[in-house]
Structure 1
Amino acid sequence: MAYIDFISSVHKSTKRDYLKRVNEFSKAEAAEKAKKWGYDYWDGDRQVCYGGYHYDGRWKKVADEMVEHYQLKSGDRVLDVGCGKGFLLYEFTQSQPGLEVVGLDISDYAIKNAKPEIKPYLQKGHAKELPFEDNSFDLVVSVTTLHNLYCMEFFSALKEIQRVSKNSYVCVESYRNEQEKVNLLYWQVTCEMFCTPEEWEWWFDMAGYKGDHSLIFFE
């Protein structure tokens, strides 16, 4: 298992006002709305979650780097667990034409409002039980999704990703100090697992996860 950071540049490109997030809107109400995974989560008020999650090309660099690192070629299969509106998967198809892409997400709204070119390849499902055969994907990715699961679901999801993948990459949110912990708590609306890097490593080991991973921090 290797630590490879594909995501920090995207994460750090967003400006965040942590105090505004908790002072100007009820955190409990925001979380209740967000966890329905519908309009409010994706395209509603910024105080709830994304405030409008639209295609802007930010995932192109990530897809290019993953295609190069994992040496993906035409005919290879890529699965995105927690694919949302499918923007990263779309960039995979542009970076390496001929890739077979599949997206899985719990949100009906995200799939319905996915990028049109990629929508036919998306399906509803939960990370804890992937409806795919063993070793059926050349690469499985899950970006800023699995920390939204309860620990027993996270454990199952890691084992499932390991089961269906030849290569895999997981990115979750974390904190290294009290300031980053506070920032994460202020900003998040859907997290169920709050772990330090050492704790995440423990979970990866416990689940027998052998793929790659990275962490993002709210500095």
Structure 2
Amino acid sequence: MSAPDWLADTRTSYDTVAESYTDLTRESLAKLPLLRGVLALFAEAAREVGGPVADVGCGPGHITAHLRGLGLDAFGVDLSPRMVDIARRDHPGARFEVGSMTDLPLADGSVGAVLAFYSVIHVPDAEVPAVLAHFRRVLRPGGVVLLGFHVGDRDHLKTEGYGGHPMSLHVHRRPVERVAGWLRDAGFTIAAQVLLDPDDEVPGGVLVARTPA
């Protein structure tokens, strides 16, 4: 599948489920104390670097808003125009824009940190190195990136989602070691590794990494 095909499928799928997804995730962080702890760790590292924080694949903006509540100058970027519309509606004090992580619309060295929370899960393996190169490009020296992803070693085509609406996009589960290797190849150093819910059928992986100072 070519990059334009998977990007178009991802955009259309999330435009379709945007309202239902927002309803299902609006209060999700309140029920996930360990995840809030991981985001607090990321916020501490981002504050040390200084500068804006880009939430790439921000969806309806609830995590962007949470980061702002932790004192960060966070803004969101998402492929789905409908998701961005909802984020602007629900979080009017924050900045949100439409954009793709494959061609990130940010200047070189313009942010102190990048959060990509379960947003690289739809990117084909062959495209991930280019995405990480964009993350490094926009980060300041010593900048921080956090990747959240499904742990496993398979992908599947998701044809229905949030609220029973039709979707058509691939969801990739990846070993932590593979994602860490991609980060190192892109010039990052791994700073922290967390495995969430390791006894679940699909654990969550979190990697925090830094660029050279």
TM-score category, normalised to shorter length: 0.5 to 0.7
**Aligned with 2:101: secondary structure?**
coil
Q: Structure 1 CA distance, aligned partners of 2:65 and 2:169? A: 25
| One-letter amino acid of the counterpart of residue 150, structure 2 | E
Which of 18, 42, 48 lines up with 1:66 in the alignment? Answer: 42
Instruction: Determine if the alignment matches structure 1 residue 204 to structure 2 residue 174.
Output: no
Identify unmatched segments of 5+ residues in structure 2.
1-7, 160-167, 204-213
Q: Which structure has more strand as a fraction of its residues?
A: 2
Residues 197/171 of structure 1: CA separation in 2 closer, same or farther (3 Å cut) = same
Give how far 1:138 is off.
1.2
Of 90, 97, 109, the residue aligned with 1:123 is 97
In structure 2, what is the Cα distance between the partners aligned to 1:171 and 1:130?
18
**C-alpha offsets along residues 61-89 of structure 1, whole Å, 9 cap, x if unaligned?**
2543432343359x731101101111111
In 1, distance between residues paired with 2:195 and 2:129?
Answer: 17
Q: Could you tell me which of 117, 121, 127 is aligned with 1:143?
A: 117
Task: Give the count of matched residue pairs.
Answer: 174
Which of 61, 68, 72 in structure 2 is aligned with 1:93?
Answer: 68
TM-score, length basis structure 2: 0.65
Displacement of 1:34: 6.7
How far apart are residue 164 of structure 1 and its match? 1.0
Q: Distance in 2 between matches of 1:199 and 1:68?
A: 26
The 2-side partners of 1:144 and 1:77 are apart by 20
Structure 1 residue 135: Cα displacement: 1.8
Alignment partners' CA distance in 2, 1:93 and 1:39: 25
Percent of aligned pairs with the same amino acid: 18
- Residue type of the alignment partner of 1:199: R
Shift of the 154–113 alpha-carbon distance from structure 1 to 2, 3 Å rule, reads: same
After the TM superposition, which residues 41-80 of structure 1 pair with which residues of structure 2 at under 5 Å, given as runs?
Answer: 41-44=17-20, 50=21, 52-56=23-27, 58=29, 61=36, 62-71=38-47, 76-80=51-55
Q: Could you tell me whether the CA contact under 8 Å between 2:18 and 2:60 is conserved in 1?
A: no
Q: Which one has the largest radius of gyration? A: 1
Q: 64-73 vs 79-88, which deviates more?
A: 64-73
Change (3 A) 1:33 1:104: closer
The residue identity in structure 1 corresponding to 2:44 is E
Assess, with a 3 A threshold, how the Cα gap between structure 1 residues 215 and 163 changes in structure 2: closer, same or farther: farther
Distance between the aligned counterparts of 1:190 and 1:133, measured in 2?
29
Deviation at 1:35, TM superposition (A): 5.9
> What is the alpha-carbon distance in structure 2 between the residues aligned to residue 51 and residue 120 of structure 1?
17
Q: Which of the numbers 64, 69, 84 marks the counterpart of 2:59?
A: 84
Q: Aligned-residue CA RMSD in angstroms?
A: 3.4
Amino acid at match of 2:23: G
For structure 1, the 5+ residue unaligned runs are 1-31, 45-49
